[in-house]
C-alpha cells in the first residue's frame, strides 16, 4: 500500500514573471472556508512541522455522501488557493443531529443592565454572557433613541461573545429593530461575521418580545444570530499561525 505524500506547499518562490512573492495562508483561513461548505459541521486540519497538510478531519451530517464532501473540499481548495490535497488525506465522519459539543459551547444570557442619561441623551447597556462557568460583561453606549437603545444592547451582546473566542473573528452589527410578525412584536438583529481577510454573508436572529423587556429580547436575538456560528468557531478555532504557502 502506498502512503500518500503530504500535500505540497505552493512554494515560496515569486510568481513566474511577476516578482510578486507568494503569501502564507493560515490554518484558520482554510478551516473557515471548509466550514462554509454544504453539510459541514466542523473541520480540523493537522499540519506537520514543515507546514504541510497531513490530514483534514471533517464532521458532517447525512445530507451528502462522504465522497461528495471530499470532492467539495478538493474543489474549494483548488479554486480558492490552487491547493491540491490527496483525497486519502481527507477523513469524513457523519453524525445524526447536532453534535453535543456544539450545544454545550453555546453562550447563555446572564443579565442585561441598562441606564438612560436623559440629560446627556445617552443610553448605556451592560450585557453578561456565560460559557459554562465563565461570565464576561461588555458595555456599550449609544444615543438615547429607540434604535440606539436596541443597538447598544445588541452590540454589548456581540462584544461579550467575542471575548470568549481565541480567533480573529469579529461580529459586526448591521441592524437591530422591532418588527411585527403575525401581529406580535419581535426584535430582529442582523450581524456580519468579519475576519481580517474575509467578510461572510450576514446572519440574523429574531425573538418575540412576549413578556420580557425589549432589551432582553434584543440580546437574545443577537445570541440567536451568532450562537451556532460561535460554537463552530470555538470548537475548531485556535490562535492564528502560518500554515501554508499559496500563490
Residue 48 has φ and ψ, to the nearest 5°, of -85, 180
What pLDDT, on the 0 to 100 scale, is given for residue 105?
Answer: 58
CA distance 34 to 70: 10
The domain 107-227 is classified under which CATH number: 3.20.20.70, 3.40.50.300, 3.30.160.270, 3.40.710.10?
3.30.160.270
CA distance 83 to 238: 22
CA distance 197 to 205: 25
Q: With 0-12 CB in 10 A as exposed, 13-18 as middle and 19+ as buried, what is 152?
A: buried
Q: Running DSSP on this structure, what letter comes out for residue 7? A: B
Domain 1-104: CATH class, spelled out: alpha beta
Element (H, E) at 33: helix 27-35
Nearest residue to 167 via CA among 41, 53, 31, 23: 31
What pLDDT, on the 0 to 100 scale, is given for residue 191?
Answer: 94
CB contact set of 211 (below 8 Å; sequence gap of 6+): none
Q: How many CB atoms lie within 10 A of CB 234?
A: 20
| Domain residue limits, the chain | 1-104, 107-227
pLDDT tens over the chain, length 247 residues: 444 555 544 434 333 343 444 567 888 889 888 988 888 888 889 888 888 888 999 888 777 888 889 999 999 999 988 888 888 899 888 776 554 444 445 788 999 999 999 999 999 999 999 988 899 999 999 999 999 999 999 999 999 999 988 778 889 999 999 999 888 899 999 999 888 877 888 889 999 998 889 999 999 999 999 887 777 666 555 433 333 333 2
Residue 213 has φ and ψ, to the nearest 5°, of -70, 155
CA distance 116 to 153: 12
CA distance 174 to 191: 5
CA distance 70 to 78: 12
Reduced to 3 states (helix: H, G, I; strand: E, B; else coil), residue 149 is: helix
What pLDDT, on the 0 to 100 scale, is given for residue 169?
Answer: 83
- Render 170-220 in DSSP notation, one character per residue: EEEEEEEEEEEETTEEEEEEEEEEEETTEEPPPEEEEEE-TTS-HHHHHHH
What pLDDT, on the 0 to 100 scale, is given for residue 232?
Answer: 66
- Render 166-180 in DSSP notation, one character per residue: SSS-EEEEEEEEEEE
Amino acid at each position: 500500500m502506498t502512503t500518500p505524500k503530504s500535500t505540497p506547499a505552493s512554494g515560496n518562490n515569486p510568481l513566474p514573471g511577476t516578482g510578486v512573492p507568494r503569501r502564507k495562508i493560515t490554518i484558520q483561513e482554510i478551516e473557515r472556508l471548509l466550514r462554509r461548505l454544504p453539510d459541514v459541521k466542523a473541520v480540523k486540519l493537522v499540519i506537520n512541522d514543515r507546514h504541510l497538510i497531513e490530514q483534514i478531519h471533517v464532521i458532517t451530517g447525512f445530507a451528502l455522501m462522504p465522497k461528495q464532501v471530499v470532492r467539495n473540499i478538493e474543489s474549494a481548495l483548488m479554486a480558492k488557493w490552487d491547493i491540491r490535497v490527496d483525497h486519502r488525506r481527507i477523513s469524513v465522519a457523519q453524525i445524526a443531529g447536532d453534535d453535543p459539543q456544539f450545544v454545550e459551547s453555546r453562550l447563555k444570557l446572564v443579565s442585561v443592565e441598562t441606564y438612560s442619561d436623559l440629560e446627556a441623551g445617552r443610553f448605556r447597556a451592560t450585557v453578561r454572557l456565560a460559557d459554562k462557568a465563565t461570565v464576561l460583561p461588555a458595555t456599550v453606549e449609544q444615543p438615547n433613541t429607540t434604535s440606539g437603545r436596541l443597538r447598544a444592547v445588541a452590540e454589548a451582546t456581540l462584544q461579550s461573545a467575542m471575548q470568549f473566542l481565541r480567533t480573529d473573528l469579529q461580529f459586526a452589527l448591521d441592524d437591530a429593530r422591532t418588527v411585527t410578525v403575525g401581529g406580535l412584536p419581535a426584535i430582529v438583529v442582523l450581524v456580519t461575521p468579519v475576519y481580517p481577510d474575509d467578510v461572510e454573508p450576514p446572519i440574523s436572529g429574531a425573538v418575540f418580545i412576549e413578556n420580557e423587556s425589549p432589551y432582553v429580547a434584543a440580546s437574545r436575538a443577537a445570541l440567536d444570530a451568532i450562537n451556532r456560528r460561535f460554537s463552530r468557531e470555538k470548537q475548531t478555532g485556535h490562535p492564528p499561525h502560518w500554515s501554508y504557502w499559496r500563490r
